[in-house]
C-alpha cells in the first residue's frame, strides 16, 4: 500500500502545467482530487515518475451558463456540483449524477475533470456526459482543443487527451424546450461504484413524439458507451409505456456486462433494462414539465 517513489511538483498556471507535461510526457500524471490516482498509485497499478499537482492553478473551478452552454471548470469538486442551485434546477441529470458518486468525503476532493480524464467505465460522469452530448476542452501547447464526448473514450481506461494536454472545461448544451434528463444508479451500498447505471437525455415535441434521445451506460461496457439502438428506436416515436419498455430491452441488449462480485452478467443486463425504463420515464416526465 506504499506507492513507488515519484517526484512531486505544484504547478501554478496552465502554461507551467503544459510545459511540465510536454517535458515529462507519459512519465507524468496530473493530480487533481487524487481520489482515483492515489489509490491506483498505492496499489501500484499506476507508477508515474512525476506528479503535477494542479490544485494551485487558479480559475479552473466554476459552474456558469455562457453562450447557450453550461460550462464547468475541470477542477470543480463533486460537492460544488451537488450544492449548485443552477445544476440542481437546470440540469437535474447532473445533480443526480454528482450526488451518487462515492461518499461526501470523496466528493469534497474529487473533481469532474478527474472523473472524466480517468476514463473508468465504472465512473458515473462519463455516461451522463455521453447522454448530454458534452464537449471536452483540452489545453495543450497549441492552445485549446475541443473534443466531442463521443470521441473522448477511445479504449479501456484511455481518454482522447494527448500526454501534453490538460482537461480544463466541460461544455454541456443548455436544455431546449421539452427536454428532460435523468440518471439512475443501482449500487450495493451507498458510496460504491454502480452495479449498473443509466443516463437518459431526450426531447419531445408538442405531441409527445421523441425528437432526440441519448442514452449512456455505466459499468456495463468496456468503455463508457451509448445505447444507440435504443436511442434510434425512441426517435420519431410517440412515447408510450410500450415504447419505453421496448427501448429499455434494446438498451439491455446493447450492454455487455461481466460477471463479478457485483453480480452475474445476466443479472446486470436485466438491471440495465429496469434502470433504462425508469430513467426514460423520469426524463419524459421532466420533458413534459414535471419535476420528477
In Å, how far from its chain's centre is CA 97? Answer: 8
Does residue number 166 form part of the binding site for ligand FAD (CB under 6 A)?
A: yes
Does residue number 214 form part of the binding site for ligand FAD (CB under 6 A)?
A: no
Among the residue ranges 8-16, 85-93, 107-115, 148-156, the one whose residues contact ligand FAD (CB under 6 A): 107-115
Element of type H or E holding 147: strand 143-148
Q: How far apart are CA 197 and CA 77, in angstroms?
A: 21
Among the residue ranges 106-114, 219-227, 243-251, 260-268, the one whose residues contact ligand FAD (CB under 6 A): 106-114
Using CB atoms, what's the residue nearest to ligand FAD?
114
Output the smallest distance, CB 212 to ligand FAD, in A.
25
Among the residue ranges 101-109, 200-208, 260-268, 279-287, the one whose residues contact ligand FAD (CB under 6 A): 101-109
Output the smallest distance, CB 146 to ligand FAD, in A.
15
Element of type H or E holding 18: helix 14-24
DSSP 8-state symbol, 175: P
Does residue number 111 form part of the binding site for ligand FAD (CB under 6 A)?
A: yes
Angle CA(231)–CA(235)–CA(236) in degrees, nearest 5?
160
Find the binder of ligand FAD among 18, 20, 57, 117 (CB under 6 A).
Answer: 117
Does residue number 33 form part of the binding site for ligand FAD (CB under 6 A)?
A: yes
Does residue number 56 form part of the binding site for ligand FAD (CB under 6 A)?
A: no
Find the binder of ligand FAD among 96, 124, 164, 254 (CB under 6 A).
Answer: 124
What contacts 143, CB < 8 A, 6 or more positions away?
none
Does residue number 79 form part of the binding site for ligand FAD (CB under 6 A)?
A: no
Does residue number 39 form part of the binding site for ligand FAD (CB under 6 A)?
A: yes
Angle CA(102)–CA(98)–CA(67) in degrees, nearest 5?
155
Cβ 217 vs Cβ 227: under 8 Å: yes
Does residue number 115 form part of the binding site for ligand FAD (CB under 6 A)?
A: yes
Find the binder of ligand FAD among 18, 24, 29, 234 (CB under 6 A).
Answer: 29
- Please list every residue from 169 through 208 that binds ligand FAD, using CB under 6 A: 191, 193
Among the residue ranges 86-94, 109-117, 145-153, 226-234, the one whose residues contact ligand FAD (CB under 6 A): 109-117
Cβ 31 vs Cβ 10: under 8 Å: no
Query: What is the torsion angle, in degrees rounded to the nearest 10, for the CA atoms of residue 82, residue 85, residue 86 and residue 91?
Result: 60
- Number of residues forming the site for ligand FAD (CB under 6 A): 29
Output the smallest distance, CB 248 to ligand FAD, in A.
23
Q: Among candidates 193, 166, 163, 199, which has minimal Cα distance to 262?
A: 193
Does residue number 118 form part of the binding site for ligand FAD (CB under 6 A)?
A: yes
- Look at residue 159 and give its three-state secondary structure: coil
Residue indicated by cell numbers 453480480: 263
Please report, for residues 61, 65, 111, 145, the alpha-carbon distance to residue 90 in angstroms, rounded to integers and kept in the order given: 19, 10, 20, 27
Cβ 182 vs Cβ 200: under 8 Å: yes
Nearer Cβ to ligand FAD (140/281): 140
Q: Where does this chain bind ligand FAD (CB under 6 A)?
A: 29-37, 39, 74, 101-102, 106, 109-111, 113-115, 117-118, 123-124, 161, 166-167, 191, 193
Amino acid at each position: 500500500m506504499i506507492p513507488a517513489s515519484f517526484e512531486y511538483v505544484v504547478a501554478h498556471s496552465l502554461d507551467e502545467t503544459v510545459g511540465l507535461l510536454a517535458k515529462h510526457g507519459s512519465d507524468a500524471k496530473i493530480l487533481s482530487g487524487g481520489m482515483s490516482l492515489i489509490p491506483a498509485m498505492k496499489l501500484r497499478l499506476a507508477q508515474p515518475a512525476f506528479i503535477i499537482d494542479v490544485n494551485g492553478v487558479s480559475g479552473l473551478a466554476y459552474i456558469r451558463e455562457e453562450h447557450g452552454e453550461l460550462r464547468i471548470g475541470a477542477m470543480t469538486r463533486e460537492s460544488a456540483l451537488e450544492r449548485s442551485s443552477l445544476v440542481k434546477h437546470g440540469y437535474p441529470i447532473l445533480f443526480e449524477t454528482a450526488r451518487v458518486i462515492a461518499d461526501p468525503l470523496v466528493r469534497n476532493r474529487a473533481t469532474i475533470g478527474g472523473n472524466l480524464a480517468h476514463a473508468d467505465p465504472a465512473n458515473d460522469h462519463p455516461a451522463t456526459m455521453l447522454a448530454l452530448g458534452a464537449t471536452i476542452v483540452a489545453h495543450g501547447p497549441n492552445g485549446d482543443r475541443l473534443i466531442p464526448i463521443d470521441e473522448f473514450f477511445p479504449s479501456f481506461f484511455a481518454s482522447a487527451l494527448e500526454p501534453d494536454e490538460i482537461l480544463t472545461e466541460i461544455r454541456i448544451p443548455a436544455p431546449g424546450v421539452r427536454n428532460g434528463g435523468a440518471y439512475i444508479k443501482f449500487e450495493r451500498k451507498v458510496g460504491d461504484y454502480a452495479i449498473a447505471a443509466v443516463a437518459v437525455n431526450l426531447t419531445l415535441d408538442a405531441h409527445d413524439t421523441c425528437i432526440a434521445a441519448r442514452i449512456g451506460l455505466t459499468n456495463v461496457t468496456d468503455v463508457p458507451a451509448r445505447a444507440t439502438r435504443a436511442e434510434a428506436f425512441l426517435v420519431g416515436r410517440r412515447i408510450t409505456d410500450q415504447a419505453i419498455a421496448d427501448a429499455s430491452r434494446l438498451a439491455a441488449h446493447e450492454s455487455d456486462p461481466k460477471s463479478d462480485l457485483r453480480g452475474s452478467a445476466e443479472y446486470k443486463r436485466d438491471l440495465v433494462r429496469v434502470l433504462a425504463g425508469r430513467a426514460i420515464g423520469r426524463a419524459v416526465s421532466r420533458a413534459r414539465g414535471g419535476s420528477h
